[in-house]
Amino acid sequence: MTQDHFREIYAHRAADYDLLVQREDTDGNLLPALRAAGLSDGMRIVEFGAGTGRVTRLMQPRAKQIVAFDQSHHMVEQAVPTLDASKVVCATAVNNAIPVRAGWADASVAGWSFGHATGWYPDHWRDEIGSALAEMRRVTRPGGTLIILETLGTGSTSPAPPNTALAAYYDWIEVDHGFVRQAIRTDYLFTDSQESDYLIRFFFGDELADRAAQNGWVRLPECTGIWSRTN
């Protein structure tokens, strides 16, 4: 899919996107993986690229406070009514300019956000992601935890970067920035074949939707990478 396709979704189709991500991680593997990566009870968390708040909702019961940001006002509007206002503030901001004071967070989490820069800025994605990583480090206290979530393949049961640009990005954050990777399954489970076809086609495109239909997939396999390091 083109990056314009994803820009359109994030700008105008938050409700469909939120329905899709509600079907993700049917086995509940993501929260244990986040805790293994360093999240613990009572933390103050900054979230980068929060989207419609799926990961926010997962983290909020055990967090002390979360400030969650996304560059799309449309996505933030979808997220806010689903979040616990006593614990979570959700607002619009870009990844390299987060309005949080230095060292406020015990942990920073970026879910399926930074990797878009490899498509949006193919000639200088390292600069774009590098400035976002610098912002993660700035808002997180020394000794705190930095966590990045990215795709390791949708429609596949074996974790691997789905394209060469993401492979280069993953290698870069491991080799140059000291992040350590774990891989988990975060399969989607749809209510029926009609919903499966609609949501896969809407977000991932016709090729994967056709393959899912041919295989009769109501459960769509997906692999996710969790990269973490101490600040």
pLDDT digits (tens, 9 = 90+) for 68-80: 999 999 999 999 9
Could you give the angle at the alpha carbon of 26 between the alpha carbons of 20 and 30, nearest 5°? 95
Least confident of 6-10, 42-46, 149-153: 6-10
153/221 Cα distance (integer angstroms): 8
With CA atoms as reference, report the closest residue to 56 among 114, 131, 126, 107: 107
Task: Please give the single-letter amino acid code of residue 129.
Answer: I
Q: Hey, where are the domains in the chain?
A: 3-230
What is the average pLDDT across 161-188?
Answer: 98
Asked whether the beta carbons of 59 and 39 are under 8 A apart, the reply is: yes
Q: Is residue 3 over pLDDT 80?
A: no
Q: How many CA atoms lie within 13 A of 31 on its CB side?
A: 15
Q: Binning pLDDT at 50, 70 and 90, where does residue 7 land?
A: confident
Provide φ and ψ at 13, rounded to 5°. Answer: -130, 45
Residue 2 pLDDT more than 70? no
Q: What is each CA distance from 149 to 12, 31, 176, in whole angstroms?
A: 23, 12, 17
**Tokens 């993700």 sit at which residue?**
24
pLDDT exceeds 80 at position 118: yes
Q: What is the pLDDT of residues 129-147, one digit of tens each?
A: 999 999 999 999 999 999 9
Domain 3-230 has CATH 3.30.70.1060: no
Task: Compute the distance between CA of residue 82 and CA of residue 78 in angstroms, rounded to an integer.
Answer: 8
Place of tokens 């009514």: 81
Q: How many CB atoms lie within 10 A of CB 64?
A: 11
Question: Average pLDDT, stretch 192-217?
Answer: 95
Q: Examine the pLDDT at 1 and tell me if it is beyond 70.
A: no
pLDDT-derived band at 47 (thresholds 50, 70, 90) equals: very high
The mean per-residue pLDDT over the stretch 38-45 comes to: 98
